[in-house]
Amino acid sequence: MEENKFFESLTVLICEKKFHKLRAALLATNPVDIAEYIMRCDAKDRLLVYRILPKELAAEVFAYLDTDIRQVLVNSFTDEELTSVLNELFLDDTIDFLEEMPAYVVKKVLEHTDPDKRKIINQFLQYPDDSAGSLMTIEYVALNKNYTVDEAIWRIRRIGIDKETVYTAYVTDGKRVLEGVVTVKDLLLAKNEEIIAEIMDENVICAHTGDDKEKVSETFKKYDLMSMPVIDAEGRIVGIITIDDIVDVIQDEDTEDFEKMAALRPSEKPYLKSSVFTLAKNRISWLLVLMLSGIVSGILLGAFEDALLPVLVAFMPMLTDTGGNAGSQAATLVIRGLALGELNVKDYLKILWKEIRISLLLGSVLAAFTFVRFVIQYAVIRKDDIGVNAFLAAIVVSISVLFVIIMAKTVGSMLPIVAKKLRLDPAIMAAPLITTMIDALSLTFYFGMAKAILGI
């Protein structure tokens, strides 16, 4: 609420053309909040607000804007404004920006970049989108192992202003081969005359340029890193990846997994900025697959047409819903375990044995509850003719509940493992697909039991 009031006050300043007060208010505001205000305000005011900002703050705000807003601003920039923004942006933010832009915008940006930086940008753009190379920046602090602590601190002060992070410095030789890492804390706590080689950590956790960015994010989480060096095949440092980029990767991966678990094709744009056609296209393929697979259930019902007594039909929704929910529970936990690295494919027997024991406990309780409910409803209260013996029918439904839960837990826990083994995303083996499969298996067993026990 307070944020909305603040944004409204900025809009009032624009309407009253009190630009000096507007600039003062923006200078006292966090760059993230300024970016949010620019994205919220009227299109006619965006460029005005942006141009009021000092160039250093403007570049920082630019990095937090949505892709479509950036594109509009770039198209409105003068050559001088565009050059100023590019000079102030960190290199990794420039790369991220260019990867999202259409070709004509990339061309315009590169035309206003100095030759040396353009060469580096072109090199970065050649890395695959999902690689460590596409995430890294070359703006890091490099030290020589023969520096004293005093010399190292002096160098950080001299060059640190242009670096994305100075909290961790990387020790390299004359050929940029990574030899160790030293933190600012190490430098501050060491004596001025100590040599970097004596205090640096030679056990450096690093990534290679071709490593998958999801693997890099897992390493960040495992070791609680703030930054990580990226090396080439010869062990030379070519850049670093910082935690802010990894947070974006984790968010993108989580969003993609969430969409797959909901039987959606991953989308590149936010919901409100995606067209109706795009959203429909992302949903139709899985809906068709699930609908066609649902035909199997219809075929099964036709095969057991003689066994379709009203009392048995009445328990079909409960049976299929229970199976789907049980399978989804198991699948969700296994998918999460695989994503966090708590589980791997080799654990399949441990997972299977645990889920079987869980399903026996849950199935026994639910089967007993179903039996008591059936008997009370049809044998005690109603006492009407249901076409079969009420106690035998209760046994059929109860045994089916127990089987369905065991089957659902087994299928739900194993399908993500199978997907991982086949190098597929385990998230695709989620609720919609598992529910459809379990429905068919549940009905087959249910009416098979009815035929065997009730003699229909």
Does residue 259 fall inside a structural domain? no
Q: Can you give the pLDDT at residue 260?
A: 64
Structure-token pair, residue 320: 């299929």
Last residue of a domain, one of 93, 126, 159: 126
In the chain, count H helices and then E strands.
Answer: 22, 6
Q: Can you give the pLDDT at residue 29?
A: 92
Last residue of a domain, one of 194, 227, 242: 242
Do 404 and 291 share a structural domain? Answer: yes
Do 74 and 213 share a structural domain? Answer: no
d(CA 288, CA 429): 16
Q: Which of 5, 48, 1, 54 is nearest to 28 (CA)?
A: 54
Do 406 and 293 share a structural domain? Answer: yes
Residue that has been written with the tokens 């995606």 in this structure:
274
Q: Per DSSP, which regions of 148-205 are E strands?
A: 168-172, 178-183
Do 189 and 75 share a structural domain? Answer: no
Does residue 46 fall inside a structural domain? yes
Do 120 and 156 share a structural domain? Answer: no
Do 341 and 428 share a structural domain? Answer: yes
CATH number of the structural domain spanning residue 42: 1.25.60.10
Q: Can you give the pLDDT at residue 179?
A: 95
Total of domains in the chain = 3
CA angle 48, 49, 54 (to 5 degrees): 105
Instruction: Report DSSP state, residue 376.
Output: I
Does residue 92 fall inside a structural domain? yes
- Containing domain of residue 169, as a range? 141-242
Do 374 and 324 share a structural domain? Answer: yes
Q: Can you give the pLDDT at residue 293?
A: 59
The mean pLDDT values, 10 residues at a time, for the chain of 456 residues are: 80 89 91 91 87 88 87 84 79 78 75 76 80 88 95 93 88 93 94 95 94 90 92 91 89 72 62 72 69 64 63 84 87 84 90 94 94 84 68 91 93 90 76 75 86 81
Burial class (CB in 10 A: 0-12, 13-18, 19+), 42: exposed
Does residue 248 fall inside a structural domain? no
Does residue 408 fall inside a structural domain? yes
CATH number of the structural domain spanning residue 344: 1.10.357.20
Q: Can you give the pLDDT at residue 201?
A: 95
Q: Can you give the pLDDT at residue 351?
A: 94
